[in-house]
Amino acid sequence: MGSNSFTIGSVAGIRIALHPSWLVIAFLVTYSLAIGNLPQSFPGWEPALYWVVAAVVAALFFASVLAHELSHALVARRFGIKVRDITLFVFGGAATLEGDAGTPRQEALIAFAGPLCSILLGAAFYGLTVVTGQEQFAAVLGWLAFINVSLGVFNLIPGFPMDGGRMLRALLWRLRGDQFAATRNAATVGRLFGYLLIGLGAYIAFDGGVFNGIWLALIGWFISSAAESSVAELSFQRMLRGVRVRDVMEPEPASVTPNETVADLVNERLMRGEDRSFLVRHDDGGLAGIVTLSDIRQVAREQWPMARVTDIMTRYAELAKVGPDEQLERALKVLQQREVNQLPVVDEDGRTVLGLLTRAGILRLVDTRMKLGV
């Protein structure tokens, strides 16, 4: 999701991003308020006023969703877990944490922070409706009070990966001492809840509430799919547990020199072998960078004979690197965070190349282990 999102700012040092799908729900919320909810509740306003109030409510609603996710993020950071960003998308928001809770207590507190924030916001908005005497302002606050409390209560439903499901996982983890089994059980509840929403959405759609029914079914599909994906991801991580980078890396990766032309690289190496990425080494064997097929594709074909590898490679200073004894789980997270397909494996000095870790190599390991049942 992150690669398609665009940054709109940061809060407490945490990058805030919008996924393009957020624009869809932002329009739908504004439209439904301006055309339906507000005219029904407050007839007689000027048409333009409905749209102005609806836009303000929509903006404050998404600020509330952001506050919900920030609560998760700040509590996670309190426990030493790095927070990369928060992304708002069509189904709400998601905080990207660079790590997992170390204990069931931490997991439960991180999960509970979001619903607690939403319910407290709802209570605060409702309190303001009591003291304000301005009709339009009261309309905004009343809707926000309702939606925040609804958001908080809905997220407490014990279906993983919802907040309530994460709290259920924390409880099962505490009782059984097995995080994987707890995740699997909580995800089963999440899938069942997702299927229930899909069925309820279909019933509502056929009963005449097409928009609400389809939307409810989509939420159910998202929850069930996310639950299945979470279990698959955890199974994948469990399979890699205990494996070190040196066990998977290519010990003698293909390499080129910085002064080789792009034409020679294509004709002599890419066209005659299976390698799609190459270490770039100095004459003394030191690492200068990495050049990949995607780098070559950025160069016009007529420039290949003149362009050199050093002109297009990713230079050493910009490379993410791993050591041979690092856990493969951590190295995989670096691959995902940097959105690259390979990492040079280097010695303590940082420039002596010991091998190359690739996504393809990791997938081969996983495939072999699955086939062998180990």
Catalytically active residues, by annotation: 69
Cβ atoms 242, 345 nearer than 8 A = no
Neighbours of 155 (CB within 10 A): 23
Q: Are 311 and 303 in contact (CB under 8 A)?
A: no
Residue-by-residue DSSP string for 91-141: TEEEEEEES--SSHHHHHHHHHHHHHHHHHHHHHHHHHHHH---HHHHHHH
Count CB atoms within 10 A of the CB of residue 48: 9
Cis preceding-peptide flag for 39 (omega within 30 of 0): no
Please give the biggest Cα pair distance in the chain.
Answer: 81
According to DSSP H, which parts of the chain are helical? 20-32, 38-41, 47-78, 104-131, 135-155, 163-176, 179-206, 210-240, 262-264, 293-296, 309-312, 328-338, 359-372
Tokens of 122: 């709802």
What order do you get walking across the sheet with 14-18 strand by strand? 6-11, 14-18, 82-89, 92-98
- Which of 90, 88, 98 minimizes the C-alpha distance to 29? 90
d(CA 74, CA 77): 5
DSSP conformational letter for 17:
E
How many CB atoms within 10 Å of residue 7? 11
* Other beta carbons within 10 Å of 52: 13
Alpha-carbon span 217 to 153, nearest angstrom: 19
Of the candidates 353, 327, 331, the residue with the CA atom closest to the CA atom of residue 342: 331
